[in-house]
Amino acid sequence: MSDARDDEALGWAGDDDPTLAPEGAPAGAAAPRARAPRRGETAPAAARRTVLDEAEDAEDRAAERELEEAERASAQLSSAALIGLGVLGGVYLLYTIGWIVFFSRYELAIDVTFGVFSDLIARTLAIAAAPLWFVATLLITQRRRRYRFLWLVIGVLVLIPWPFLIGGTA
């Protein structure tokens, strides 16, 4: 048995257009169409709709809606937005390098005490803060792009490596 969708695969849109009739056929002759069953007649097996067919159609429509929503959500960024993200990403990279340079200027104590351990954790978090802020902002603001640059600028202001810029020592 053939399905209605299988029959559609064998034809082109506009097959019933009278201007596309084969040569030698009358101008009004179009491709023959299956007639709808009359009252009291049963439909041919290919034209019968089952619950499974309706479920498949509903699933196809849902998948198409989901695809359209995903396409709208992943609309491409403008050139200015890409340049802005690149510049802000570069600033965050420089901040990370600044924290690494600042912390590499002096050595850690050899003995392992709570103070030394907590200082090591603080250094690690200070170095990782800038890239984590950048990535987290990009991930959290995927759906609300108008807030993305606001949060990135806030991070630029908050995460400045002041000790490196001032020239102090830890």
Q: What is the pLDDT of residues 74-107, one digit of tens each?
A: 566 678 888 888 999 999 999 999 888 888 887 7
Total domains present in the chain: 2
User: Which domain range does residue 56 map to?
Assistant: 45-75
Same domain membership, residue 112 and residue 50: no
pTM above 0.85, yes or no: no
Per-residue b or e along 131-143, where b marks 16 or more CB atoms closer than 10 Å to that residue's CB: eebbeebeeebee
Query: Could you tell me if 59 and 125 lie in one domain?
Result: no
- pLDDT for the residue numbered 120: 87
**Same domain flag for 86 and 162:** yes
d(CA 95, CA 72): 34
DSSP characters over 73-131: HTPPPPHHHHHHHHHHHHHHHHHHHHHHHHHTTSPPPSS--HHHHHHHHHHHHHHHHHH
Together in a domain, 71 and 137: no
